[in-house]
């Protein structure tokens, strides 16, 4: 593979795994981060240690000016983006629906939904064959939570991921004639540090014994493998697709 890969929220967890695998497979990689500069720098260093090329760019994907600046930095340092993985996302503490805080709800959708929209917009401007681009791929990271209905008291998070699913299908139809493919991955229970507060991998293994047909949680690398496949020519006839990577959950 070759080209320029932008991974939002690329400093840790699934995003870091995607960025590092992309670098290993020949992409020049932009590792986006919002606050954890040290984590993003470590991912960049890992890619460079493998002989790849990468940069870290701070940007809050919910801020339009930040997103525009990030893609301009990518243009200047790596070249026009050919693959975008919309991975950046946040959650809010579980809350009874009747007690929802509008400010927290707004921030959740600003990052999880508007951030993906803004990043995709900037990528399409550069990828679209109708605008002089060479085509490209957009992969959105959603969640099995958008459909399984099990995250009681986490309706906002599930709804934000449902918006990404709907965006994927319709956007794919719009930009297919412009040489751009759009797809989504819906991860299930994946071992990342976001679950450290509930006991980390050991706790997830217990949950997975009864909550996942395959009986185990997934690893970030397994999501990365799916994302890089979708970005590759092996998936050249795949667009508008939603790929569940959740062990059957």
Per-residue pLDDT of the chain (249 residues; tens, 9 = 90+): 789 999 999 999 999 999 999 999 999 999 999 999 999 999 999 999 999 999 999 999 999 999 999 999 999 999 999 999 999 999 999 999 999 999 999 999 999 999 999 999 999 999 999 999 999 999 999 999 899 988 888 999 999 999 999 999 999 999 999 999 999 999 998 988 766 666 777 887 888 888 899 999 999 999 999 999 999 999 999 999 999 999 988
Question: What angle (nearest 5°) sits at the alpha carbon of residue 126, between those of residues 124 and 132?
Answer: 110
Range of the domain at 98: 3-245
- pLDDT for position 121: 99
Q: Per-residue pLDDT tens for 145-172?
A: 899 988 888 999 999 999 999 999 999 9
Half-sphere exposure of 244 (CA within 13 A, CB side): 11
Task: Centre a 10 Å sphere on the Cβ of residue 170 and count the other Cβ atoms it contains.
Answer: 11
Report CA-CA distances (Å) from 146 to 100, 158, 235.
Answer: 19, 5, 24
**Residue 149 belongs to a domain with what CATH number?**
3.40.50.720
How far is Cα 2 from Cα 128, in angstroms, rounded to an integer?
18
Residue-by-residue DSSP string for 71-137: HHHHHHHT-S-SEEEE----------GGG--HHHHHHHHIIIIIHHHHHHHHHHHHH-GGGT---EE
Cβ neighbours for 172, distance < 8 A, ≥ 6 positions apart:
181, 182, 183, 239, 240, 241
Cβ neighbours for 233, distance < 8 A, ≥ 6 positions apart:
none
What total of structural domains would you count in the chain?
Answer: 1
74 within 8 A of 53, measured Cβ to Cβ: no
Catalytic residue status for 157: yes
- pLDDT for position 206: 86
Looking at residue 29, what DSSP letter applies? E
Task: Centre a 10 Å sphere on the Cβ of residue 119 and count the other Cβ atoms it contains.
Answer: 26
Considering 27, 33, 157, 237, which one is annotated as catalytic? 157
3-class state of residue 138 by DSSP: strand
245 within 8 A of 186, measured Cβ to Cβ: yes
Query: What does the block give as tokens for 70?
Result: 């990030």
Cβ neighbours for 154, distance < 8 A, ≥ 6 positions apart:
91, 94, 95, 145
- pLDDT for position 151: 81
Which residue, among 244, 136, 119, 249, has the nearest Cα to 185 in the 3D structure?
244
- pLDDT for position 149: 85
217 within 8 A of 191, measured Cβ to Cβ: yes
- pLDDT for position 195: 64
Displacement of CA 131 from its chain's centroid (Å): 25
């Amino acid at each position: 593979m070759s080209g320029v890969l932008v991974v939002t929220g690329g400093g840790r967890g699934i995003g870091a795994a995607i960025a590092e695998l992309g670098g290993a497979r020949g992409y020049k990689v932009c590792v986006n981060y919002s606050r954890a500069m040290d984590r993003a720098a470590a991912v960049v260093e890992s890619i460079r240690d493998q002989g790849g090329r990468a940069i870290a760019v701070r940007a809050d994907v919910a801020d339009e000016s930040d997103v525009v600046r990030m893609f301009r930095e990518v243009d200047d340092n790596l070249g026009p983006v050919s693959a975008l993985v919309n991975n950046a996302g946040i959650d809010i503490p579980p809350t009874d629906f009747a007690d929802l805080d509008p400010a927290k709800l707004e921030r959740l959708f600003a990052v999880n939904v508007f951030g993906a929209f803004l990043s995709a917009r900037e990528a399409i401007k550069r990828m679209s064959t109708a605008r002089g681009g060479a085509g490209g791929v957009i992969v959105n990271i959603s969640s099995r939570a958008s459909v399984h209905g099990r995250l009681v008291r986490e309706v906002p998070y599930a709804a934000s991921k449902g918006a990404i699913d709907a965006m994927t299908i319709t956007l794919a139809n719009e930009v297919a004639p412009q040489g751009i493919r759009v797809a989504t991955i819906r991860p299930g229970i994946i071992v990342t540090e976001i679950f450290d507060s509930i006991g980390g991998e050991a706790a997830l293994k217990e949950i997975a014994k009864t909550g996942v047909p395959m009986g185990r949680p997934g690893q970030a690398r397994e999501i990365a493998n799916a994302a890089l496949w979708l970005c590759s020519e092996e998936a050249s006839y795949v667009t508008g697709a939603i790929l569940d990577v959740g062990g059957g959950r």
